[in-house]
Structure formats: C-alpha cells, structure tokens
A and B are shown apart, each in its own frame.
Chain A
C-alpha cells in the first residue's frame, strides 16, 4: 500500500531558536507584532508499507536516524 506521510520536525520546548527570533523581529518591523513564533521543517514522503502502522514505524526510523537530531528536536508523524 502507498502511504503519504507528513513529518514535522521542530525544536524542543525551551530551545533557543535564533531563526524564529530573527523572523519575529522582521515581522515586527513590518508592523506585525507577534507574541510568539516558532519554526518547523515539514517533510512529505510517499512510501510503500504493509499498513499504516508500518508506514509510521518507518517514518519514525527516518526521524531517529537522520531527519531529527534527538539533542534538540522533537517530531510528529501523520500517516494518510
């Protein structure tokens, strides 16, 4: 079965996010004050798997072994 998997990788709670801070600052310069702003990276992956649980497990391995760095990142996985 083909599954569309969406992986979202962001920084763990409390981690400094200099990129988000710079974007927040630039938005403020344009007249968009924001209370909070965070960034995340999103991957859309299509893969073959026996079932949705297997697709999720495969995506989890991708995160653990390459896409995320466990020191600073957390991730979420959606399977359709």
Chain B
C-alpha cells in the first residue's frame, strides 16, 4: 500500500500530512512535487493544505488546472482514493472532483481554531472507523472555506449520504453559532458521487497525535488504510 502527498508551490501542510501518514499511521507515503506527476500507481493521494499559487484568482483554482490534476482525476475515476484537506479541498472542488465550491468566509477573515464536527457518514472509505453522529474536535485554518452549492446539489448530497462532516457545537447540534464560516447547512466535508473522494476544510493531520491536543482526525487516515486493506485499490463498481 502506498500513499502520495502532492506538493504544489505554496503547499504548507504537505510535510505534516506526510509525517502523520508515515510516522503515526505507518503507511508508506511519497511526497510528490506536482511537476513530477504521479510517476507510479498509488492507493490514495492526498492534496494537502496551504496556499497554492498564493490563492490567486480563487483558492485552489490555479493548482486545479495543473497537468498533475488530469492524472489525479484518472486515479479517482479508476477508484483510487483522494483526500483534499483545506487548500486541497478547494483544489478538489475547483477540479470538479466534488460538487459545489469553497469560497470567502461569511465574515471575511482568516479563522484558525479548533471546531467540532459531527460525523454524518460512516460508510465511506474515509469515515468508516467513526460512530454515526460522533462529535470530533479538529482545527480549521482558512479564509475561503464557506461551502456553497445550489439547492438541488445540497438536496442530492443529503439524499445520497455524501455529506461527511458538518460543523456543530460540542453536543453535536448544527447551529448557526457553531458554523464558523457560514457554510451551507454547516457542511464542511463532501464526498464524490462514487464516494472515493473527500474534500474537507478542517485539518485532520493537525489532530492526529496526543501532543496536538486531539487525535480525533487520525481515524480518517486509518479509515482509508483499513478500506484499502479490505478492498484493494479499486472500489467495487456501484
């Protein structure tokens, strides 16, 4: 099993994510410079957080149009797992891997703090180790993280169980007060149609070791590993 973490110019959570995958989760992980492309087959590819291309145009918009993304889309279409974290989520939505977009926070400033998330889906390759409705504590750090999608897309995401996480209070209530950036229906983790791509604004790699004050995020990486161990690289056709 082998993971890749893609580094764009301006990525800054690439090494943190690599550290958690290799040293905490114990999975072989390559750091891949975007210009080198995906030189081999990977079981999972992570698009890490950061500020690719200085967030010019729109966060993630320019990285989403680099040649490596065509390879990443092929990887996703063949059933490979893709996890986009923060800037990686923005890149993933800009590349059309998940519907909707992440745009400027309702109160237009950078927010960096721990938040609570309610786990909405426990059948995806990213969330299978959580309990349904489990409340986890993970940090966010973004200015452009407000999830926006047309009503019909939101209805479809709900119907198909493709909302992975919602912002909530410590008791799991999805209130306006617990929605730090004004995301539609408190959504901050979205799954692709086939379920093998997850785009999320919170940073699970920053909540994966006791020293960081929360280990709630590591189950995402461990869910991916368990899924690959069980199913192999390719997701069964739905």
Contacts and interface: CB of A to CB of B under 8 A. Distances in A.
Q: Do chains A and B interact in one complex? A: yes
Contact of B104 (A18, A67, A71): A18
Contacts of B182: 16
A69 interface: yes
A65 B57 CA distance: 13
Contacts of A65: 65
B105 interface: yes
B149 interface: yes
Contacts of A15: 148
A62 B107 CA distance: 30
Contacts of B148: 15, 71-72
A19 to B, nearest CB: 6
**Size bracket of the B interface:** 10 to 19
The A contact surface, by secondary structure, is: helix
A30 interface: no
A50 interface: no
Contacts of B107: 18
A24 to B, nearest CB: 12
A22 B150 contact: no
Interface residues of A, number: 12
A60 B95 CA distance: 18
B169 to A, nearest CB: 22
Contacts of B57: 66-67
25 contacts: A15-B148, A16-B146, A16-B182, A18-B105, A18-B106, A19-B104, A21-B108, A22-B108, A66-B57, A66-B61, A66-B65, A67-B57, A69-B58, A69-B61, A69-B94, A69-B101, A69-B103, A71-B99, A71-B100, A71-B101, A71-B149, A71-B150, A72-B101, A72-B103, A72-B148
